[in-house]
Structure 1
Amino acid sequence: MLAVDALGPVGPYRSRKQLTVTDVTGVPVASVSLMPRLYVTRTMSALHRASELPLAQRLRALATAGSLFAKDSDDYVDLVARVSGLPLDDIRFATNAISEACCTAFEAAQQGRPRGASTVEDDRVAEGAVWTRRGHVFAVHAAGNHPAVHSLWLQALALGYRVAVRPSRREPFTPHRLIAALRAAGFPDDHVILLPCEHDVADEILRCADLGMAYGGDEVIAKYAGNPRVLPQGPGRSKILVTAGDWAPFLDTIVSSIAHHGGVGCINATGILVEGDPAPLAAALAARLSALPDAVLPRYPLAAAVALRDHLAQRAAGAQPFLGADQLIHDLGDGSAVLRPALHLLPSAASPQLGAELPFPCAWIAPWTRADGIAPLRNTLVLTAITDDHPLIASLLSEPTIANLYLGNRPTHYFHPHLPHDSYLTDFLMRTKALA
């Protein structure tokens, strides 16, 4: 099996305690070293002791790492697809996205710099506002739902932070490959670290860092809500709003929003709100989603797929199934199953299922009226609004709990490195101080 060692401050480290990672059919493919608490604490201390690399050296190393990460990646792509169950094309997309993110990390980070502030590298500033880091060591509790999540923390590295990544137990291969590439490109071993560990040790990484980012569900949001040093990244509950009018020209966009990249992301649409009768749109979506080939859908171990099917059936109580739990599983006969799309019609925009986010293409469609207002659209990472109602657009834009607003034929999964994901990461990493 492939050995995935920790990447510590003096090189790779293999522990006695190992975690076996299997592919979706149950075949063991790798053994991951799980670090004890003392090793984690000492490693984090080493990050604090390390000196900052000059900006030019960081940029050269990032650009080189991007090339190394994408080079000869066929075996990596195949392995991650086998373990994560994501389509091969999605892993190839993520590989290119991470490679590009290495090259553009500093430029992307600068998008969040206040217009009136200079960088600390600008030695021409004698007086004014200077954009500076809020700390020196940044920790990441990474997600395993999609490899592309590892493109974001590269901005911290570009800004001079030392970074420690705790990989997902489900898919540790992407951060291991990325950190190995960063080190080969010129980042010292005590600047970027991989720390696989058990859940009871994971908090030690965040405790020892100046700032941290943690991915997870609602429990992660609740756990770190009161901690100003940790940025929680939870469910997206992305939505689409269709006001009165012809939705047919936007059908491709709605289908793509639900199912693109296997429907596993926080930027995939899970709620569809329709002014007027939503049933015709639900029927059209069901026809399109049911025709998707297995190759573009996520694959899970059969036992996990059955558990998700049972959970969906329970959550969908009281909803009208257009694509229900009974058709969710396509058993491949090798211990794994493809999860087919699910679509349910809800009785109202106040139905609690509208906030249910599951790791496959799963959408809930409901009627929306002006009387419902903004309430059903709150707590949304991305809202695509198919409307030409300018007062409504203004209300959506000013709603604090809608992180991103896309108008018209723009799918919820649209992304550009210069656009904020959930605000700019630098809003958390940086501060502006006066120099006089």
Structure 2
Amino acid sequence: MTGEDPLIPAFRRGAWQPSLDTAPLPGDTGLRLALVPEVVAAADRRWWQAQVAALPGGFDAGARRKLLAAALELFAGGTVTVPGPGPQSARDFRRELWRTAGLPAPLVDRWCGLLRDRVARQAPVAADDALVLVSLPGNTFCCLEAVAEQAAAAGAVWARPSRREPLSAARLVAALLQVGWPPERLGFYPSGQQALPGLIRLTQRQVVYGGAGLAEAMGDAPGLTVRGPGRGCALLPTGFGIAEAVGRLLPLVVADSGRFCSNVRTIVCPDGPERARELAQALGAALDSVRTSPADPRWPLTASRVPGEACRLAEGLLGRLRPGDRLVTRRPVVCRSDGGEFLAPALVLLAGPVGMTDPHPLVGYEVPFPFAAVVSATAGEAGAIAAGSLFVHRLSAGGAP
């Protein structure tokens, strides 16, 4: 990035706006993020209501799809300008994501491609005049697909970025503006967590990414869609081969640095504890072979830029071990190298039983790095684990998961 002002502004009322309320970004860049207080957002909601009736027509589904495609190409490979940080090339974008969010360039390349492909597959829809909020997570910018989805379907979309990684959302909003998206129909609303309920009240529909308890915390907003943890699991067939299972499980655990809700967190073995132990040892060795830095060309891993976060996450995982459980991977969960502080892929062999009335705390446990638990389970226990998962990978002998 270039420029004298290190503040990433908000985008509201059709223009980039600074704020007296700011927060630093992780890393050592000196960048700060403008935060929008709830009272300001409420005034902006009234401004939108006054604008919506006077917006010009002709902004149909076809026009929106063309602009979205052009913006995503610019997002991935062009120079995009956010006032304050200034013009940012694709290379600059990757460098800043590494410095602030610990995302290596090969992973950014992959996610740019995934985002472009996902948006291209979205079905055309007839838009309405609703004001929509999309509250984004910090684990992956692929969730910007929800911003694109709502931009195609609504009167206006307000993107609320994660304070951990706001650069990608700011870049997408700026790219949309550069290709000609009407500025009145866009918003970039960074805020603290305490402002989220207010933003939900101010908007007509909301897509909110967050943890398991978020829906309860947000109340009964009629337009609210919560996209929470996936608790991905893999169910192995009876008589599976160890080498084949490892080859197919490794990408399910470690791809995308373990940050997707579809990543496998629980591996269910039907052939008894000894077979589960053999599988865990082989898969653990494969996970130990994935290097942290420089980025592994097969499975690039992310670094942590928040002080103390890596140790906190590792302690949270290890603190959930029960008597008899064993960490199978040999590296320390927290690894330090020239590229920063990493959370290495981790695999735990659960001693069992996993229980259906007293579930093991590591079954379906989600952390923002590659982690899975191997468990020997009965058919009933396997069914209960699958019932609690949004992503069930059923591996068949000799076939794809």
What is the TM-score of this pair, normalised by structure 1? 0.78
**RCO comparison, higher one (Cα < 8 Å, 6+):** 1
Among 134, 137, 143, the alignment partner of 1:140 is 134
TM-superposed CA distance for 1:199, in Å, is 2.1
Alignment of 1:8 onto 2:12: yes
Among 95, 104, 109, the alignment partner of 1:78 is 95
Indicate how the Cα distance of structure 1 residues 380 and 373 shifts in structure 2: closer, same or farther if over 3 A, else same: closer
> What secondary structure sits across from 1:352 in the alignment?
coil
Give the match for residue 298 of structure 1.
302
Give the match for residue 222 of structure 1.
216
Give the match for residue 328 of structure 1.
333
CA distance in 1, matches of 2:218, 2:36: 23
Give the match for residue 368 of structure 2.
359
Among 278, 281, 284, the alignment partner of 1:283 is 281
Alignment of 1:149 onto 2:143: yes
CA distance in 2, matches of 1:253, 1:365: 14
CA distance in 2, matches of 1:90, 1:236: 21
Indicate how the Cα distance of structure 1 residues 316 and 326 shifts in structure 2: closer, same or farther if over 3 A, else same: farther
Give the match for residue 91 of structure 1.
108
Q: What's the CA shift string for 1:317-340, capped at 9, x where partnerless?
A: 325324369711112378x41111
* Cα pair 2:94 2:105 within 8 Å, conserved: yes
Write out aligned runs for 1:243-262 (5 A).
243-247=237-241, 248-262=243-257
* Cα pair 2:100 2:165 within 8 Å, conserved: yes
Q: What's the CA shift string for 1:233-269, capped at 9, x where partnerless?
A: 1111101000202233232220111111111221111
Among 406, 409, 413, the alignment partner of 2:400 is 409
Write out aligned runs for 1:340-355 (5 A).
340-346=344-350, 347-350=352-355, 351-355=360-364
Write out aligned runs for 1:9-408 (5 A).
9-23=13-27, 27-48=28-49, 49-50=51-52, 51=55, 53-70=59-76, 71=78, 72-102=89-119, 104=120, 107-110=121-124, 136-224=130-218, 226-247=220-241, 248-276=243-271, 277-294=275-292, 295=295, 296-301=300-305, 303-323=308-328, 327-332=332-337, 336-346=340-350, 347-350=352-355, 351-372=360-381, 374-387=383-396, 408=399
TM-superposed CA distance for 1:376, in Å, is 1.9
Give the match for residue 425 of structure 1.
none
TM-superposed CA distance for 1:408, in Å, is 4.4
CA distance in 2, matches of 1:268, 1:16: 39
Q: What's the CA shift string for 1:188-224, capped at 9, x where partnerless?
A: 1110110111222222221111110111112213324
TM-superposed CA distance for 1:136, in Å, is 1.2
Equivalent position amino acid for 2:98 in 1: A
Task: Let me know the Cα RMSD of the aligned residues.
Answer: 2.3
> What secondary structure sits across from 1:253 in the alignment?
helix
Equivalent position amino acid for 2:316 in 1: H
Equivalent position amino acid for 1:44 in 2: R
Indicate how the Cα distance of structure 1 residues 7 and 371 shifts in structure 2: closer, same or farther if over 3 A, else same: closer
TM-superposed CA distance for 1:108, in Å, is 1.3
> What secondary structure sits across from 2:260 in the alignment?
coil
Larger mean CA deviation between 39-48 and 65-74 belongs to 39-48
Q: What's the CA shift string for 1:416-435, capped at 9, x where partnerless?
A: xxxxxxxxxxxxxxxxxxxx
TM-superposed CA distance for 1:150, in Å, is 0.6
Q: What's the CA shift string for 1:250-291, capped at 9, x where partnerless?
A: 322201111111112211111000111311111110110011
TM-superposed CA distance for 1:154, in Å, is 0.8
* Cα pair 2:258 2:371 within 8 Å, conserved: yes
* Cα pair 1:65 1:99 within 8 Å, conserved: no
Stretches of structure 1 that go unaligned for 5 or more consecutive residues are 111-118, 121-131, 389-406, 411-436
Determine which structure has the larger strand proportion and give its number.
1
